[in-house]
A and B are shown apart, each in its own frame.
Chain A
Amino acid sequence: MSRIPSPLFNCQQATLLVERRAAAPLPVRPRVQLWAHLHLCPHCRRYALQSARLAHAARPAAEAAVPANLALPAAARARMQQLFDAHGSAQG
């Protein structure tokens, strides 16, 4: 067990690299180390799959959370109407 936090034997480092890899290609050395780690470690392989699934689900989940016909609450709408009325009378 290495005390150097190399991603080769360290799941914390390896999963951090999984996140970095999703944004941009890794430099050669960490890329090879991560590849080897994932080859050996079923836990981090699972993490990698699930992390990607979370990333892909985030936007659809945000959109699905709101009913398609939901309207502004009446109180908020009334407040905003006042805003526009004030603006209108200042213009006119």
Chain B
Amino acid sequence: MSPPVLPTPASDPQQWLARFGDELYRFALGRVADTDTAAELVQDTFVSALGALDSFRGQASERTWLFVILKRKIIDHYRREARSPFVPLDLSPEHAPEAEFFRPADGHWREEQYPADWPAAGPDQNRADLALEQQEFQEILQLCQQRLSAQQRAVFVLRFVEELPAEDICKELGLSSANYWVLVHRAKLHLRRCLEKNWLQAPTAA
């Protein structure tokens, strides 16, 4: 149940926690997948909002304003994460992470890494099966995201969950365009394989 968005001329910070706290927390938790971090981001959001109260003049709803601040906090979180362990991008072909998937000599898929066919929704599938399959897929995708390197995860989440433009992500994470594409590619390669191993190999409902 979401609270009604009222065009409030003046802000009322004492109501924020009760009105928006849970909603902000759920939003954050979908993006950082760790309860402590999500709660921290909400708290940081409130601290920043209280500090910037003068700049809030009721042009937007308080709710919208708080979400803008929270989104900024999420980007900052991923910027910190992606910065920590330095991941070299310019390795020799034999040592690059891509060598796990492709033969360095000619760039062909390694035979054991050939993408398998994924089940598509067939006409014989009923809606309940489909919904279950979808749910499983989403759960495993979330787990697989957590196994990515910090840089790959940052790029993947900011691009495909937050849907930021590539240019903005490069600026936020201090990446060249070439490095950005390498990271998107690696993230997709790892996620694709992780899903294939954990989703397709899962025993079909007993």
Given A46-B115, A58-B161, A80-B43 contact (CB < 8 Å): yes
Contact indicator A11/B138 (Cβ below 8 Å): no
Give A65 to B32 CA distance when docked, in angstroms: 11
Give A54 to B142 CA distance when docked, in angstroms: 11
Shortest CB–CB separation between residue A56 and chain B, in angstroms? 8
- Pick the contact of B47 from A59, A62, A83 — CB < 8 Å? A83
Given A55-B160, A57-B141, A72-B21 contact (CB < 8 Å): yes
Give A83 to B14 CA distance when docked, in angstroms: 10
Contact indicator A50/B118 (Cβ below 8 Å): yes
Q: Which of chain B's residues 108-149 have a Cβ closer than 8 Å to chain A?
A: 108-109, 114-118, 135, 137-139, 141-142
Shortest CB–CB separation between residue A45 and chain B, in angstroms? 9
Contact indicator A65/B139 (Cβ below 8 Å): yes
Contact partners of B116 in chain A: CB under 8 A: 46
Contact indicator B107/A43 (Cβ below 8 Å): no
Contact indicator B17/A58 (Cβ below 8 Å): no
What number of A residues sit within 8 Å (CB to CB) of B? 48
Contact partners of B30 in chain A: CB under 8 A: 62-63, 65-66
Give A70 to B24 CA distance when docked, in angstroms: 11
Contact indicator A11/B43 (Cβ below 8 Å): no
Contact indicator B115/A64 (Cβ below 8 Å): no
Main secondary structure of the interface of A (DSSP, over half): helix
Interface string of A32-73 (1 = CB under 8 A from B): 000000000001101101110111011111111110101111
Contact indicator B25/A13 (Cβ below 8 Å): no
Contact indicator A88/B21 (Cβ below 8 Å): no
Contact partners of A60 in chain B: CB under 8 A: 138
- Pick the contact of B43 from A5, A19, A83 — CB < 8 Å? A83
Contact indicator A58/B106 (Cβ below 8 Å): no
Given A1-B106, A19-B184, A76-B50 contact (CB < 8 Å): no
B177: nearest chain-A partner, CB-CB: A20
A interface residue numbers (CB < 8 A to B) = 1-3, 5, 9-13, 15-16, 19-20, 23, 43-44, 46-47, 49-51, 53-55, 57-66, 68, 70-73, 76-77, 79-81, 83-84, 87-88
16 contacts between A and B (CB under 8 A): A1-B105, A12-B102, A13-B107, A50-B192, A51-B188, A54-B160, A61-B138, A61-B139, A61-B142, A65-B29, A66-B30, A70-B22, A71-B22, A72-B22, A84-B46, A88-B13
